[in-house]
Amino acid sequence: MPLTAKPLSGLKVIELGTLIAGPFASRICAEFGAQVIKVESPDGGDPLRKWRKLYEGTSLWWFVQARNKQSLTLNLKHPDGLAILKQLLGDADILIENFRPGVLEKLGLGWETLHALNPKLVMVRLSGFGQTGPMKDQPGFGAVGESMGGLRYITGFEDRPPVRTGISIGDSIAALWGVIGALMALRHREVNGGNGQVVDVALYEAIFAMMESMVPEFDVFGFIRERTGNIMPGITPSSIHTTADGKHVQIGANGDAIFKRFMQAIDRNDLANDPALASNDGRDSRRDELYGVIDRWVNSQSLDSVLATLNQAEVPASRIYSAEDMFSDPQFLAREMFIQAKLPDGKDFKMPGIVPKLSETPGSSEWVGPELGEHNNVVLASLGYDAARIARLRESGAI
């Protein structure tokens, strides 16, 4: 196997998504070797190009989210633009789209049409509420999925309204489910001799699937999990505490043996040896007492002192990292979690590294997010279009 081989080399992925969920799914494919052709509107392209911090007019997020992708502009309302897309899909392995249900059908690109065109095609559809059900036609961003799926209800402090998690986690989790589903469908296609199929991911269901024991707890006990701030409800002790120098530290000492070591390390042998605290149910029943003890100890120490004591005692703990903390952290550096890249003007900048780490066929970042339509000529030439025909397509507004 060549040293440059990647696990998804040879796969052709067409991305019709915008913003977060669809593009993040195809980004993962691109990082691990798939040819990803991102189809964008000639009129500005993906709105993500203008989101958050801009460098010379382009989002830094864009350069990461679209790395390793080819940008092809197609006007899907123009018959020639639509014909090019159908040609691309004729031999594609995966189509990733996150339009509202019904949009592709109106373009004549519904599943039945695409399946007849290319029986091997796997179609990943990411939407707010899925392709069926009474809400399927409603618009639904990640924030709505996080709300309906249960995440926002339990996020925050009990005496305040729900809060968001700080990133668009609903979109990102949906993207991961989309990739998992696509790989399952490819496995079925290649190993079981099956045809392509639809991978239907609803954002609210992507979140709902992560909600741990919420469903049986309500069904059996009528228990509704509420917001609990920085503690992990029912699992004690696991919380965030503030040090004497104003830093924040997460301590997870909820394992039985770990709790005992923790109490011994902070000179609370009375608690370490208390048989009532030997298991989680006993500790959780005395949660407020234990968190008071931990708070007082952490409040009296510097962050470095807290971490040194807990590391020595083999108690899981971490400072709460900012981006600045990460940039100089030996663990991040040892794991190559920052990739050096160049912006279009040649300026060096860092991008996040590749996840997961594969020992034999690792992923990589070959180039940053492309300019709008940067690969028009290359992609169209691969379909048999000569320079004159491409020029006519451009003049007609098809690309």
293 and 197 in a single domain? The answer is no
Phi, psi angles (nearest 5°) of residue 263 = -65, -35
From 46, 93, 171, 200, the catalytic residue = 171
Per the CB < 8 A criterion, the answer to whether 50 and 96 are in contact is no
Could you give the CA distance from residue 99 to residue 66 in angstroms, rounded to a whole number?
18
Give the pLDDT of residue 232: 87
Has residue 231 been placed in a domain? no
Given a cut of 70, whether residue 4 has pLDDT beyond it is: no
- pTM (2 d.p.): 0.94
Give the mean pLDDT of the chain.
96
Has residue 20 been placed in a domain? yes
pLDDT grade, residue 5 (50/70/90)?
Answer: confident
Give the pLDDT of residue 233: 84
169 and 115 in a single domain? The answer is yes
Could you give the CA distance from residue 150 to residue 310 in angstroms, rounded to a whole number?
34
Indicate left, alpha or beta for 33 from its phi (over 0: left) and psi (-120 to 50: alpha): left
255 and 198 in a single domain? The answer is no
CATH code of the domain covering residue 246: 3.30.1540.10
Could you give the CA distance from residue 39 to residue 372 in angstroms, rounded to a whole number?
10
Give the pLDDT of residue 178: 98
Per the CB < 8 A criterion, the answer to whether 122 and 189 are in contact is yes
31 and 135 in a single domain? The answer is yes
Phi, psi angles (nearest 5°) of residue 362 = -70, 155
259 and 370 in a single domain? The answer is no
Closest of 101, 120, 123, 99 to residue 111, by C-alpha: 123
Closest of 193, 297, 180 to residue 241, by C-alpha: 297
**What number is the average pLDDT over the span 214-235?**
94
**What number is the average pLDDT over the span 290-316?**
97
Q: Is 58 helix (H, G, I), strand (E, B) or coil?
A: strand
Q: Which amino acid is at 134?
A: P
Given a cut of 70, whether residue 18 has pLDDT beyond it is: yes
Could you give the CA distance from residue 140 to residue 303 in angstroms, rounded to a whole number?
42
Report DSSP state, residue 66. T
Boundary residue ending a domain (285, 319, 353): 319
Per the CB < 8 A criterion, the answer to whether 378 and 399 are in contact is no
Burial of residue 114 (CB within 10 Å: 0-12, 13-18, 19+) is buried
Residue with tokens 């209800």: 153
Read off the pLDDT of residues 319-340 as tens digits, 9 standing for 90 and up: 999 999 999 999 999 999 999 9
Has residue 2 been placed in a domain? no
135 and 30 in a single domain? The answer is yes
How far is Cα of residue 139 from the mean position of the Cα atoms in its chain? 20
Closest of 258, 255, 277, 147 to residue 211, by C-alpha: 147
Give the pLDDT of residue 387: 97
The residue segments making up the domain with residue 385 are 12-210+336-396
Q: Which amino acid is at 396?
A: S
50 and 178 in a single domain? The answer is yes
Read off the pLDDT of residues 372-381 as tens digits, 9 standing for 90 and up: 999 999 999 9
Has residue 201 been placed in a domain? yes
287 and 351 in a single domain? The answer is no
Task: Reply yes or no on whether 200 is catalytic.
Answer: no
Backbone Cα Rg of the chain:
25
Could you give the CA distance from residue 334 to residue 324 in angstroms, rounded to a whole number?
16
Which residues contact residue 352 at a Cβ distance below 8 angstroms, ignoring those fewer than 6 apart? 64, 337, 338, 339
Closest of 195, 292, 302, 275 to residue 239, by C-alpha: 292
Has residue 145 been placed in a domain? yes
Read off the pLDDT of residues 382-391 as tens digits, 9 standing for 90 and up: 999 999 999 9
Per the CB < 8 A criterion, the answer to whether 40 and 17 are in contact is no
User: Would you say the C-alpha torsion 344, 347, 352, 357 has a positive or negative sign?
Assistant: positive
Calculate what percentage of the chain has a pLDDT beyond 90: 97
Q: What is the DSSP string of 275-297?
A: GGGSSHHHHHHTHHHHHHHHHHH
* Element of type H or E holding 125: strand 122-127
Could you give the CA distance from residue 361 to residue 80 in angstroms, rounded to a whole number?
38
293 and 165 in a single domain? The answer is no
Give the pLDDT of residue 1: 40
Boundary residue ending a domain (269, 293, 319): 319
142 and 183 in a single domain? The answer is yes
Has residue 135 been placed in a domain? yes
Report DSSP state, residue 173. H
27 and 125 in a single domain? The answer is yes
Boundary residue ending a domain (319, 352, 385): 319
137 and 60 in a single domain? The answer is yes
Calculate what percentage of the chain has a pLDDT beyond 70: 99
Could you give the CA distance from residue 43 to residue 372 in angstroms, rounded to a whole number?
9
CATH code of the domain covering residue 44: 3.40.50.10540
Read off the pLDDT of residues 35-79 as tens digits, 9 standing for 90 and up: 999 999 999 999 999 999 999 999 999 999 999 999 999 999 999
Has residue 119 been placed in a domain? yes
Could you give the CA distance from residue 8 to residue 27 in angstroms, rounded to a whole number?
12
**What number is the average pLDDT over the span 278-284?**
97
Closest of 336, 366, 384, 370 to residue 34, by C-alpha: 366
Read off the pLDDT of residues 338-367 as tens digits, 9 standing for 90 and up: 999 999 999 999 999 999 999 999 999 999
Give the pLDDT of residue 2: 46
Could you give the CA distance from residue 278 to residue 255 in angstroms, rounded to a whole number?
9
Has residue 6 been placed in a domain? no
Domain count, the chain: 2
